[in-house]
Amino acid sequence: MVPLTALEPGELARVFAVSGGRGATRRLAELGLTPGAAVRVLSAARGGPVLVEIRGSRIALGRGVAAKVLVRRGG
């Protein structure tokens, strides 16, 4: 498992877990970032937000939030 911030643009992964408080976990779940969901990194500029595609939607996550999402590489 690695944090979402460790993936390169174009990489596909599956959400394994979300670490953090109830508010962060709930907010990420509302965005579709739940265990088992497939996620693809579209862009990850150094120091900028991480743009991901999940469940047909594009979402920009701040790096701190993205680091709380633990994923397993591969589809």
18-52 pLDDT tens trace: 998 898 899 999 999 999 999 999 998 888 899 99
pTM of the model: 0.89
CATH of 2-73, one of 2.30.30.90, 3.30.70.100, 3.30.70.3450, 3.40.630.30: 2.30.30.90
User: Helix (H, G, I), strand (E, B), or coil: what is residue 56?
Assistant: coil
72, 13 Cβ separation under 8 angstroms: yes
47-72 pLDDT, tens digit per residue, is 889 999 999 999 999 999 999 999 99
Question: Per-domain residue ranges for the chain?
Answer: 2-73
